[in-house]
Chain A
Amino acid sequence: MKINIPHIAKLANLEITRDQEEVFEKQLSEVLTHIEKLHEVDTTGVHETSQVTGLENIEREDKTTDSFTQEEALSQTKNATNGSFVVKGIFENE
């Protein structure tokens, strides 16, 4: 089982160097080959589980409570201006 590291790295927003690419490809392909063993299990008609204690629809009253101040929210960023976070532009040339 081969994994296309540059493609996956792009989807995951990770920068991977050429050297790392080779190591990761070998390691992850090995893990995937192992994981493929799962295909021998017959799961016809078996539903999927994502929640194990049977909980559903937990509700609470929709009311506002105290939260972080703007100052607190911004205190851990390296890049803030005018009380806001600075993010990269989404559209090029704008």
Chain B
Amino acid sequence: MNNFTNLTIKTAREKLDKKEFSSVELTKYYLEQIKKHNDRLNAFITITEHEALTMAEKADEKIHNGESTPLLGIPLALKDIYVTKGIKTTAASKVLENYVGHYDGTVVKKLKDAGVVILGKTNLDAWAHGSSGENSDFGPTKNPYNTDYVPGGSSSGSPTAVAADMALAASGTDTGGSIRLPASFCNVVGLKPTYGRVSRYGVIAMASSLDSIGHFTKTVEDNALYLQASAGGDPMDATTPPVAVPDYSEKLDHGVKGLKIGVPKEYFIEGLDPKVRELTEKALSWYQSQGAKLVEVSLPHTKYAIEVYYIIQTAEVSSNLARYTGVRYGDERSVFGDEAKRRIMLGTYVLSAGYYDAFYKKAMQVRTLLIKDVKDAFEKVDVMITPASPTLPWKLGEKTTDPLSMYLSDIFTVHANLVGIPGLSVPIGFVDGLPVGMQILGPHFKEDLLYQVGNAFEKEHPFWMERPVL
């Protein structure tokens, strides 16, 4: 069998087109990998072997007829919060353990139209509530670089699948860091797009003013190819604005000379792991050596972002999860896990009579100040770079009984969701064998700029090629 370990979407496309292997062969390889490693890593909740092979056969037929579109015949995995027609969608909660949707969400439909092969549905913190993957009702996912450690969450199975070579790419959702944090913990590239850039229709809602629909890939250029297929307006989601979708690959090789990179001082604080800090500063110095200008910026309200987030997010969670009554589909409310119950109650509390003004209204006001901070910063710089996580991946079980410390692990990522800007997590190295990532933040709808900045670094530092030993 071919060695597909260092394959990317880009190189797979070339080889599929040259008939070096077929999509069926490629799909069989990934299914084999899933069978080999899933018991240990628990990255997948559902494996769709039969559907995958049917899709691969169809793709091969099209390739045979001379079709060549970027994602045709490419095997990928979907976070199990994307509704799929005829395939179970559980949100990793026992409430939806047996739920089978009657429709494909917009992104799933777009991916299918692009000719992808869907290998299965990946594990997550139930309802996307969590930062480690341990809140799943189907057991925790393990970090492929060291199975004693968490892969990050809430999208835990998707980056694990990509890193462990169980899929070429995988989808995720990011409400407060659920793509960027696990991407950094698993040595893969993860994008949280601008709010509204990718349709939320058919993705189970967590917090509707924050939810962003993104994905994981091995490389930056692969990430751009995926976004090209998923981005765009959708009549089914009124928050997708009529902003043109650019060619996301166009600026990949433009380099960083003359770019102004903001370094927000509030992110380089006490509590940031010195080794994470060191790698981030090393990446920043490299950018400087390539002709980018580093500019210190200040986002004065940063220290309140996590508080604002845990008010707005839980308020919206309590409202979105109110629909699960067990009447039309799913099980009863008593089946909700502890974390969902905590968030529903916290959200109900901050919205309840007597507390609304003190919590919810206040949070919505501070959100305005957070937006102003970021707007002011982008008057001075093109992008900003920060660590994606204040710490390295932690050990399984370390934070499960202390929700507050788990919540604080999102401290560097929630800001982007509250402001709606895009963020790209790119690998910057390893500490004691555990991956570290940086976060590149840009103005609304400037994903192409994030790819330009991320790709420049990755081309000189291909950390993605350091595969986990399993």
Contact = CB atoms under 8 A, between A and B. Distances in A.
Interface of A: 3, 5, 8-9, 11-16, 20, 24, 27-28, 30-32, 34-35, 37-39, 41, 43, 46-53, 55, 58, 60, 68, 72-73, 75-79, 85-87
Q: Main SS of chain B's interface residues?
A: helix
Interface in B96-135: 99-100, 102-103
Given A38-B308, A76-B99, A30 B362 contact: no
B304 A12 contact: no
Contact of A52 (B195, B301, B345, B407): B195
Contact of B420 (A27, A53, A58, A78): A53
B368 A47 contact: yes
Interface of B: 99-100, 102-103, 194-196, 209, 235, 238-239, 241, 301, 304, 307-308, 310-311, 318, 322, 325-330, 333-334, 336, 338, 341-342, 344-346, 348-349, 352, 358-359, 361-369, 371, 403-404, 407, 418-420, 444
Contact of B364 (A8, A14, A49, A87): A49
A73 B328 CA distance: 8
Interface centre among A24, A31, A32, by most chain B C-beta atoms within 10 angstroms, is A31
B341 A13 contact: no
A27 B404 contact: yes
Nearest to B334: A15
Given A12-B322, A32-B346, A50-B209, 5 more contacts: A12-B344, A28-B345, A41-B304, A49-B365, A76-B329
A43 B328 contact: no
9 A-B pairs with least C-beta separation: A52-B420, A76-B329, A48-B364, A43-B365, A58-B238, A12-B348, A46-B365, A49-B368, A49-B367
18 contacts: A5-B345, A12-B345, A13-B322, A13-B325, A34-B307, A35-B310, A38-B307, A38-B366, A43-B366, A46-B369, A47-B365, A48-B367, A48-B368, A52-B195, A55-B241, A68-B103, A76-B329, A77-B328
Contact of A27 (B326, B327, B403): B403
A41 B359 CA distance: 12
A76 B328 contact: yes
Contacts of B407: 31
Contacts of B371: 49, 52
Contacts of A47: 365, 368
Nearest to A79: B327
B369 A75 contact: no
Nearest to A61: B235
